[in-house]
Amino acid sequence: MLIEDTPDVRTTLIHRADSPGGQWWRSAVIYQVYPRSFADSGGDGIGDLPGITARLGHLSRLGVDAVWLSPFYTSPQHDAGYDVADYRQVDPLFGTLEDADALLARARTLGLRVLVDLVPNHTSDEHAWFRAALPAPAGSPERARYIFRDGRGPDGAEAPNNWRSVFGGPAWTRVADADGTPGQWYLHLFDVHQPDLNWENEEVRAEFEAILRFWLDRGVDGFRVDVAHGLVKDQGFEDWAGHAEMIAGDDAGEEGVGPAPMWDQPGVHDIYRRWHEVLASYDGDRALVAEAWADTDEAMARYIRPDEMHQAFNFDFLCTEWSAPALKDSITEGLAACDSVGAPTTWVLSNHDVVRATSRLGLPATGKGPNGIGADDPQPDAELGARRARAAALLMFALPGSAYIYQGEELGLPEHTALPGDVRQDPAFWRSGYTEKGRDGCRVPLPWEADAPAFGFSPTGASWLPQPTAWAGFALDAQKGVAGSSYELFRKALRLRREFDLGTGSLAWVDGTWGPEQGLLVFTNRQVIVAVNLSDGPIPLPDGLDVILASGELRGELGHQALPADTAVWAVLED
């Protein structure tokens, strides 16, 4: 097919191709492993590092370039490991340091790079530093590592300000002095068991640079930085009229609400410049990845300037509604922002904090979606969501830049929307008074074998969260070798992405007869033309189109076909 031979069609180049073979992270497909839900080798119902190591072959066969491991550090597990008590040790739930070394060695053998999570905004309240801070007096070096403040009012009984926790409730908790009398308050933007560190303190900065070196010395290829837009707070600690959200400017448009004083502060970039220097001192092209919920693409791009981080998740893409004009704008703006600082755009559709794309895209209102779905909430249209998620995956894999897969996404896993309250473990569920269902529904352990106990997740059939019986049909062994399965679709997409160098490619929009006005998103990347039908009905494809991949079955005869609603197709352009 030649685009110039198609009447009333015009192309607009918005992103130029890079040369293949550059820095790996500029075009990598990276697979997120949530350790407690990936594979359990010990039979206790909780996934572990040996279980991950045993299943790394699956990721190699899938065709990803790297693995990102969510936290496996020593932790009381109040927030599934994001409350770290020791950044240099593996929690016994997950194994040992030797198990971590074995995982890294196996990944290297398979040609997989490994990123690990780093949680610098806060520690666990069981961290040695915080345990030392509690009996220490106000103004002591021990307390200076965290954010302790005197309360307001004549007896200090009121919190230092009105900030709220992201998980619900106040962001301040009062502690007792050594003599038992009420004392200062400490800040925790998340759970009460997650005290925020004081990043104005040089000791904190030096400690985390040492933590980076500890894991780099063990061979990790980089870090995904949790709440990267946090860490530094406005030192005025004034009251703020906004809501407790992760996005810096989420409330800024409301009357009387200014920018959030706890997110996206200018001083955070000094930290990442220092971290960049640490990673640059090592061989092997190490990378920093920002989880930065910035309010604009331009703000997000500040985290990936040449002397700071290497990737930042494009959450705007994840949160965009299922609409051709909206997605076109999101992709255009994301590429432009990253191009302005010479960084790749990093695409993502799902992770451990949001409703799975397969379910989210089946809701009446698409976009970021709710904070979890319960049995009493409006339920997603399963067939619609699955169809859209397959199309969205082909859209994402065809875009230039890096892309992330959340574990189970390759299986087409939906959200578990019927978890009973007594098994939920997300602190957001409890602190919100059960109004927010939270993130447990996207964290249910994976199904590997349709007929095995716990679908092959655990040898004993134990599972820290219950798996739906319907997940037998999503098991890996039920999809391998099955034409049209979600797993085989992902494998083929990743193979073709490599074959055509799409990750380092260009992007030119195709408009006119085809375009957002017709509910169609069409672009070219190198020799491939991609079309995604986001309308309510089928759209005819040009005759003679050389289709190499489709997210669903096309209508009509070969060469004279139509693209059904919520379906994506890749085709090869003629020279």
* Euclidean distance between CA atoms 12 and 17, whole angstroms: 14
> Is residue 541 within 8 Å of residue 561, measured between CB atoms?
yes
Q: Has residue 4 got a pLDDT over 80?
A: no
Instruction: Give the span between the Cα atoms of 342 and 339, in whole angstroms.
Output: 5
Average pLDDT of span 166-194: 95
Paired sense of beta strands 86-90 and 73-74, if any = antiparallel
- Return the higher-pLDDT residue of 571 and 9: 571
Closest CA to 127 of 93, 177, 84: 84
Residue 295 confidence class, pLDDT cut points 50, 70, 90: confident
Is 128-187 a CATH 3.40.50.460 domain?
no
**Residue range(s) in the chain whose domain bears CATH number 3.90.400.10:** 128-187
Is 150 considered catalytic here? no
- Catalytic residue status for 291: yes
Quick one: DSSP state of residue 488?
H
Count of CB atoms within 10 A of residue 533's CB?
Answer: 26
Ranges 33-47, 268-282, 289-303, 427-441: which has the least confidence? 427-441
- The predicted-structure confidence for 449-494, as pLDDT tens digits, reads as follows 999 999 999 999 999 999 999 999 999 999 999 999 999 999 999 9
**Residue 446 CB: number of other CB atoms within 10 A?**
25
Q: CA 7 → CA 294, 510, 511, distances in Å? A: 41, 12, 11
Give CA separation, 328 vs 300, 402, 503, in Å: 18, 18, 18
Spot the catalytic one: 291, 436, 440, 511: 291
Question: Considering only CA atoms, which of 151, 195, 201 is closest in space to residue 176?
Answer: 151
Quote the pLDDT of residue 463. 98
pLDDT at position 254: 46
Burial class of residue 471, CB neighbours in 10 A (0-12, 13-18, 19+): buried
* pLDDT, mean of residues 217-222: 99
- In order, the DSSP letters of 330-361 are HHHHHHHHHHTTT---EEES--TTS--HHHHT
> Mean pLDDT throughout 58-79?
98
Q: What is the reported pLDDT for 252?
A: 41
Q: Which residues lie across from 113 on neighbouring strands? A: 66
Q: What is the DSSP letter of 149?
A: E
Phi and psi at residue 505, to the nearest 5°: -85, -170
In terms of CATH architecture, what is 3-11+506-572? Sandwich (2.60)
| pLDDT confidence of residue 5 | 53
Q: Which residue is catalytic, options 83, 226, 308, 566?
A: 226
pLDDT at position 559, please?
Answer: 67
359 contacts 474 by C-beta, under 8 angstroms: no
Question: Where do we find the tokens 């059939």?
Answer: 461
71-85, 147-161, 346-360, 427-441: the lowest-pLDDT one:
427-441
**Which CATH superfamily, name and number, covers 25-119+313-490?**
Glycosidases (3.20.20.80)
**pLDDT band at residue 251 under the 50/70/90 scheme:** very low
- Residue ranges, comma separated, of all CATH 2.60.40 domains in the chain are 3-11+506-572
Report the distance separating Cα 215 and Cα 116, nearest Å.
9
Query: What SS3 string covers 56-92?
Result: HHHHHHHCCCEEEECCCEECCCCCCCCCCCEEEEECC
**What mean pLDDT is reported for the chain?**
94
DSSP state letter for 445 = P
CATH 3.20.20.80 domain locations along the chain = 25-119+313-490
Q: Are 226 and 120 in contact (CB under 8 A)?
A: yes
